[in-house]
């Protein structure tokens, strides 16, 4: 555990540092509150032992500042007071401290507090990991492991805001697996699930890491192609379509004899600054046109088009 000590008194610093290191922890030392805040931002220690009265930022201000900057992390704060008055202890707890010790410092008391600090910060770290995992799980399609529509909604809002701010182009490509219902009817849903997983992996492999691939629903996928013009996105999607065809997943119910995809592409540009809902409608209409034209193809949307 990293422990930051903040104390302007040299003797107190030496005693505290010795107690921290004897407990087996890494020690970082600050000579006042302002330096402590700088070191905290640099090292992000799990625990801070701070004197109440220091030049510059005092112990209470340091506690408040740390608490306001933590985010998902948690720092165990131990306040060191000269006489342990009730007012000082109460003020420290209200400022965000977890515990306190009094001067002259008893190394044994501090080591006991550090044991509690390690347990508490470990618990908070575990909880943060669980929250992160749950957040990711809520935004991931369980079958294909692609992002789902919840994540898509969040990412589109962020992307559109950035595009408006910096004038960047982007494209949406709606993708549908051709004749997938008949594939399930012929080969069964287990084979259908395996086919979707293979196609999803191919879609993800054929685009840039900065692009996004999402399961939109059923056998539909949505690709977000950042900083792409309509013609550039069409080229990307032709490559994607060819890669899926090359998987050679047998489908006796399809004229091509294998599973294929169709795609509709809509572009956000200077000339067509449409919102995300409009782009989704345009991409969907372009997909419908690709299906109507014989499937296994990519069709660009006409700007401003929308379903009847």
User: Which residues are tagged catalytic?
Assistant: 219
- Residues 174, 220 contacting (CB under 8 angstroms): yes
CA distances from 115 to 78, 111, 178, 308 (A): 12, 6, 61, 67
CB atoms inside a 10 Å sphere around CB 202 = 17
Report residue 199 as tokens. 């196609």
CB atoms inside a 10 Å sphere around CB 123 = 11
Rounded-to-integer distance, Cα 245 and Cα 234, Å: 16
Sheet of strand 26-30, all strands in order from the earlier edge strand to the far edge: 26-30, 2-6, 47-51, 76-81, 99-102
Rounded-to-integer distance, Cα 183 and Cα 250, Å: 9
């Amino acid at each position: 555990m990293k422990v930051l000590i903040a104390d302007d008194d040299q003797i107190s610093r030496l005693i505290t540092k010795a107690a921290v290191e004897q407990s087996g922890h890494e020690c970082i030392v600050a000579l006042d509150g302002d330096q402590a805040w700088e070191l905290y931002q640099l090292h992000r220690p799990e625990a801070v032992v701070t004197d109440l009265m220091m030049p510059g930022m005092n112990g209470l201000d340091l506690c408040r500042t740390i608490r306001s900057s933590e985010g998902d992390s948690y720092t165990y704060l131990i306040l060191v007071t000269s006489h342990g008055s009730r007012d000082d202890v109460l003020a420290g707890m209200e400022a965000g401290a977890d515990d306190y010790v009094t001067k002259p410092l008893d190394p044994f008391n501090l080591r006991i507090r550090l044991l509690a600090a390690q347990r508490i910060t470990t618990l908070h770290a575990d909880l943060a990991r669980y929250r992160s995992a749950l957040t990711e799980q809520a935004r991931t399609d369980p079958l294909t492991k692609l992002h789902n529509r919840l994540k898509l909604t969040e990412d589109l809002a962020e992307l559109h805001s950035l595009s408006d701010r910096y004038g960047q182009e982007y494209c949406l490509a709606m993708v549908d697996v051709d004749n997938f219902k008949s594939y399930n009817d012929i080969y069964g849903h287990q084979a259908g699930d395996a086919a979707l997983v293979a196609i999803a992996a191919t879609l993800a492999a054929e685009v840039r890491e900065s692009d996004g691939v999402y399961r939109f629903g059923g056998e539909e996928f949505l690709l977000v192609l950042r900083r792409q013009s309509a013609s550039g996105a069409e080229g990307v999607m032709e490559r994607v379509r060819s890669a899926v065809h090359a998987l050679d997943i047998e489908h006796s119910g399809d004229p091509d004899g294998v599973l294929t995809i169709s795609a509709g592409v809509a572009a956000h540009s200077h000339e067509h600054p449409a919102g995300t809902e409009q782009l989704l409608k345009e991409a969907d209409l372009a997909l419908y046109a690709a299906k109507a034209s014989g499937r296994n193809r990519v069709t660009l949307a006409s700007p401003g088009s929308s379903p009847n």
